[in-house]
Structure 1
Amino acid sequence: MNKKIIEHLFEFWEQIGRHGGFLKTENGFSFTNPSDNSWPSKIFHLNISELELSELQKKIRLQELPNSLAIYEANVIKNELERNGFCPTSQVKAMALDTSEFNFNPTDASEFIRVSSRLEAELFAQVATASFGYPVSPSTISALINKPSFTLYLGKHENAFPSCGIVYLDKNGVSGIHMIGTKAGYRGLGLGKKMTQFLIHQAIKNQSRKVYLVASQAGERIYTKMGFTTHGVLESYSLSLH
């Protein structure tokens, strides 16, 4: 299950890069590299048998590649990376939900709008940037509007739009929920939980029997209460530049 969830995430990044015009593939890996090191700047789909680590190191040092590699829990790759100056930087939990066991009442659809214009894409990018603390480019979000596999939402609260989220339907008919964020000043109001439940209901409308996501350790506790189960981790590595 871990591999299925991570492959879904890689496909998500791949499609974003393809629509945004910043997906590239080289021997042994793929990468997304949007302008200004904005989201998603990642190296993934590593194939250690084809990968030339010295060339990878050189291009990272020259800033031709993002300095962030995402891998499965694969000791062979991890050991090889660590022997060549790469250090683990973070872990996120790979989680899945069986939609047949999801029993929350549908959330009020009037509290959410689907992103369908350039102005709404700019607002989504602002909310995501403020929520996650890293840059999300409006042009990246705009490129996903009206693409069949992507649905992007903003959550309302009073006269503001402080939350965001994405449903991505992959080639296997599985929905993943991504970029679930709430601006700092609006946390503690249950808006993230509402967005998550709303996105799950959209996944059910996609006829997805499973829903995937990746979560921080703190997020894992929240999603577990909603019925998600953990299936290992996604690990990120960076090259030590000192």
Structure 2
Amino acid sequence: MKSKNSMTQEERHIIENLFEHWTYVGEKAGLITMAPRYKAVIPDGSDWPKRVFEVAGPEELAPIAAQIKAGVLPDAVTFTESQAMEYEHTLSSAGFGAKMRLQGMIIYLRENPPAEESGDVQFSLVTNAAEAAVFADIAAQSFNYRVDGAIVARLLHQEDKIKVFTGTYKGAAACSGVIYYDNNGNAGLHFIGTLPDFRGKGLAAAMTTRLLRECVADGKRYCVLHASKAGLPIYSRLGFEPVKEVITYALSL
């Protein structure tokens, strides 16, 4: 990814964890396209992780737009904020507009150790296809897009790189969360979701705390995530600090 010099170290931690996570999922599921100057994950029947990313330069945007129009690539191209600002004119010229903005955040675990876990939620590491299907259903309802349990199942039993969790509240499956450990030694939290019927009970904070405790136990110093507006106050209370946005663009057809 070009233009690293325009990013802070914290911004690099965030976007590199996310892009490496998508690459890892795409490779394990056999769904990744490794072009010379970008990557894409193109799942069939799933919206996750349906992205174009690691675009090497602005000159790639017009050809990517043409392939999106031809139905070859997904209409979702993701950048970190510094790169998006640098490419702003070219993105507009190629027909792209911002579709989704998430707040990149980071926590320094040595300075902000996680609290004790809530006793109201029981957490389980996902270990088989049936549990992966439950996770996928929670995630799909939480984020309102399709998640394929078969893709999730391909990520299991690789806990040195990725850990997939569900949480139950009063015996009912209610929340989800994923940790991804990247090649730089950093942790990233992904897919922290709560079923609509269980919102307002602190389950997102409880899941995040559990994942952070896993990161500490595994010796990680930095943990990153990208937050929606609804999640931002939750993660801020837990000690995460905002850095730069993660912005996904789509063609303005």
Which category describes the TM-score, using the shorter chain as reference length? Answer: over 0.9
Q: 2:107 aligns with which of 87, 91, 97?
A: 97
Residue 219 of structure 2 corresponds to which residue in structure 1? 207
TM-score by length of 2: 0.90
2:29 corresponds to 1:26: no
Structure 1: 5+ residue runs without aligned partners?
A: none
Deviation at 1:62, TM superposition (A): 1.8
Deviation at 1:55, TM superposition (A): 2.5
Could you tell me whether the CA contact under 8 Å between 1:94 and 1:212 is conserved in 2? yes
Deviation at 1:60, TM superposition (A): 0.4
Show CA shifts across 1:114-143 (max 9, x none).
Answer: 100110011111111111100000111011
TM alignment of 1:189-204, pairs within 5 A: 189-204=201-216
Deviation at 1:232, TM superposition (A): 1.0
Task: Find the aligned partners of 1:200 and 1:31 in 2 and give their Cα distance.
Answer: 29
Task: Find the aligned partners of 2:163 and 2:51 in 1 and give their Cα distance.
Answer: 22
TM alignment of 1:152-191, pairs within 5 A: 152-191=164-203
Residue 16 of structure 1: SS of its match in structure 2?
A: helix
Q: 2:149 aligns with which of 138, 157, 163?
A: 138
Residue 39 of structure 1: SS of its match in structure 2?
A: coil
Q: 1:118 aligns with which of 112, 124, 129?
A: 129
Instruction: Tell me the percent identity.
Output: 28
Task: Find the aligned partners of 1:190 and 1:45 in 2 and give their Cα distance.
Answer: 35
How many residues end up aligned between the 2 structures?
240
Residue 233 of structure 1: SS of its match in structure 2?
A: strand
Residue 71 of structure 1: SS of its match in structure 2?
A: strand
Call closer, same or farther: CA 1:210–1:52 in 2, change over 3 Å: closer
Task: Find the aligned partners of 2:136 and 2:161 in 1 and give their Cα distance.
Answer: 19
Task: Find the aligned partners of 1:68 and 1:203 in 2 and give their Cα distance.
Answer: 30
Amino acid in structure 1 at the alignment position of 2:91: L
Q: 1:2 aligns with which of 7, 11, 25?
A: 11
Residue 229 of structure 2 corresponds to which residue in structure 1? 217
> What do you get for the CA RMSD once the two structures are aligned?
1.6
Deviation at 1:109, TM superposition (A): 10
Deviation at 1:37, TM superposition (A): 4.2
TM-score by length of 1: 0.94
